[in-house]
Structure 1
């Protein structure tokens, strides 16, 4: 978990600025009481962060303390790992900035590309197509972003959707790599745009929640929900995936002879399944907002301690 007071903060200079913005907007870095150091408890905690009553009693007997003291230590230790509102604000602010810049670049790149409006052109003599410099750079930047997000998963608090998110990042990196090697760059670029456009609204809704602007969060979240359904459950499967599965073999029949074509197809369908899983999480949030008067809360990102 990133800590703005970390002495190695120079390694995260962009987040320093986000931290300062959060402070100016009224957020505070709340001091968390640290659990007293205990080597035996720390060793057990490193193995499993959720202890059953039997384990608590066993540790209490081993250390000659009461079970209540062990439980109190566990609560304090778990609280240390939970990111503060300011920390989560910085993370969302960073992602919102990235997705905004990325989506703006994608619009500028794709707007005057005829193959974006007619995906059949993505498959016409695609092996001889020359990749445009702006498309190449954007695919490389997107791949680098997912690599950084993948590495960041191991330094952050483990979330409810750790494994779906891990799988998503790995599949995204593999898809970008295979698509680049196979010269599927045009269809890849169109797909990246559909994936990035709704993430801006997701991160913006989180930011509004962290700042206490519940009305703005409500409006942003349901706008995000609409865009998510249209882009990830509509255009992505019935425009991008349809083009790859149905139109590509029709225009370039030799694709059916290559195993890599089916490997990429498998990765795409796994990504679609993950989108459906996340849609369930999002709809649960929408239900809570509409029927319990709760502000937007990203249930995907809760730590495992809250399960």
Structure 2
């Protein structure tokens, strides 16, 4: 559901990194990288715990991801990076056309952070309220064909396939 936003985010982020390094705004580019990468382990951990069927650890990891997103992308990013780029650098270096493009891209990233935080909070509230596995509604899932009574984790599905093959092998052997 957020394909356009995701592509836009990656294009803008890559452009910001290249632009920051080519214009010697290395500090801003490095901070953009740091802010975007610091919460990723929590999100990946939540995905791993979900696939393993460890829902309480999944919820904990996703809650830490949400708090990290709030602290990095909605607090540190605008209060440190945007403020520095919008006001402090103008006082130091003056205004120039490339500066406007650079700040426009930084502001666009902040808008995307806000939109995604809305979706993240919706998922978090739903998972904590319901207390069961909550699927990511933003994207299509390989498990969308599964019924509700089937396990949803790839590990469980793999184990189920092995058991089926084993049963089929036993059935063939018993018929001979």
Structure 1 residue 293 displacement after superposition: 1.9
Q: More helix per residue: 1 or 2?
A: 2
Deviations 1:152-194 (A, max 9, x none): xxxxxxxx11111011111111111111111101221122111
Matched, 1:238 2:76: no
The answer to whether the 8 A contact 1:214-1:295 is kept is yes
The equivalent of 2:57 in structure 1 is 216
Matched, 1:249 2:90: yes
The equivalent of 1:278 in structure 2 is 116
Equivalent of residue 259 in structure 1, options 97, 115, 124: 97
For the aligned residues, what is the CA RMSD? 1.4
So what's the TM-score if we normalise by structure 1? 0.45
Query: C-alpha separation between the residues in 2 aligned to 1:296 and 1:242?
Result: 36
Query: C-alpha separation between the residues in 2 aligned to 1:269 and 1:186?
Result: 17
Unaligned runs of 5+ in 1: 1-159
Larger RCO (alpha carbons 8 Å, 6+ apart): 2
The answer to whether the 8 A contact 2:59-2:128 is kept is no
Structure 1 residue 275 displacement after superposition: 0.6
The equivalent of 1:227 in structure 2 is 68
The equivalent of 1:294 in structure 2 is 132
Unaligned runs of 5+ in 2: 145-176
Structure 1 residue 296 displacement after superposition: 4.5
So what's the TM-score if we normalise by structure 2? 0.76
- Look up the SS of the partner of 2:19 in the other structure: helix
The equivalent of 2:169 in structure 1 is none
Deviations 1:44-95 (A, max 9, x none): xxxxxxxxxxxxxxxxxxxxxxxxxxxxxxxxxxxxxxxxxxxxxxxxxxxx
User: Alignment length, in residue pairs?
Assistant: 142
Structure 1 residue 260 displacement after superposition: 0.9
Query: C-alpha separation between the residues in 2 aligned to 1:245 and 1:298?
Result: 35
The equivalent of 1:150 in structure 2 is none
Deviations 1:112-134 (A, max 9, x none): xxxxxxxxxxxxxxxxxxxxxxx
Equivalent of residue 27 in structure 2, options 186, 201, 225: 186
Query: C-alpha separation between the residues in 1 aligned to 2:114 and 2:70?
Result: 10
